[in-house]
Amino acid sequence: MGISDKIEEMYRKRENVHISYTQPLNPCHEKVAELICKYSNDNDKLLDIGCGVGHTLSEVNKRKPSLNLFAADIDDTTLAITKENVPLEESFKITTVEDLFDQGLNFDVIIMSHVLEHTRRPLDVLEGLVEMVKPKGIVILAVPNPVRLQVFVGNIIKKHYVNRGHVYAWDRSHWINFLENIAGLNVIEYSQDFFPLPLRSKLRFVIGPIEQFLARVFPWLAFSNIAVIQVDEK
C-alpha cells in the first residue's frame, strides 16, 4: 500500500458527523432553496449531491414544485428518508462525488451544500460538476465558514474543534479567491445563511430573523459561505 492509499484509508475512517438521521431543518437549507428558486426555471432538472435527509429538496418542492428533483448521497438511510419525503425522479448511491462524473448525467442545476470541504481534490470536483451542468446552468455551493463565532468558542473550550471529515476550509475571502481566481468560475452571487446566536434551538422563531439580519450585516461571520455559479457556454 502506497502513501496515497494510506492517506485515502485514513480519510475513509474519519468520523463524519454530518450523517444525521434526525437533523432538523436549518437556515442553510432554506437559503439554498431560496437561491434555487431564484435562479431555476420551471421543469429544470435539479441534483442535490449530499442530500442528507432531504431538507433542501423538500423546501424546493414546496416553493417550486415544477422542478424535477434528483438526489445523491453516500448513505443508504439518508437516501431512503429523502425518497419518503420528496418526489424524486431518481437517486444515486455514491461513495465519492467523483462517482457521478462518468455516468453521462446532465442537469440544469446542481447543489452541493456542506460537501466540498470533505473532498480531497475540490478543484477537480468543481470541474466535474461544471461538466455535468448544461450551458447557462447553475451550480450552488455552500461550505462551512471556519471563522464564525461557534468555531472561535469551540477552539477555546475543546481542543481540535472540527468535524474530522473536513479536509479543507475557506473563510469568505479565501472562498471568493478559490472560486474566481483559482477555479476561474463565473460567480453571479455570493450569499450567506445566518449568524448563529445562543439559545437558537429554543428560541428559533424569535432569534431566527435576528440571525439572518446579522448575517447580511456581517457576512464574513455567517455559518456558511454560499456561491451561485453560472456555467459558461462549452
Cβ-based neighbours of 16, under 8 Å, separated by 6 or more: 118, 163, 164, 165
Question: For residue 16, is pLDDT > 60?
Answer: no
SS3 82: helix
DSSP state of 148: S
Mean pLDDT, residues 67-89 taken together = 96
Of 77, 69, 27, which Cα lies nearest the Cα of 52?
A: 77
Domains identified in the chain and CATH numbers: 96-230 (3.40.50.150)
pLDDT of residue 70: 98
- pLDDT tens-place string over residues 136-195: 999 999 999 998 877 766 666 666 667 778 889 999 999 999 999 999 999 999 999 998
Q: Which of 20-29, 63-72, 84-93 has the lowest mean pLDDT?
A: 20-29
pTM more than 0.85: yes
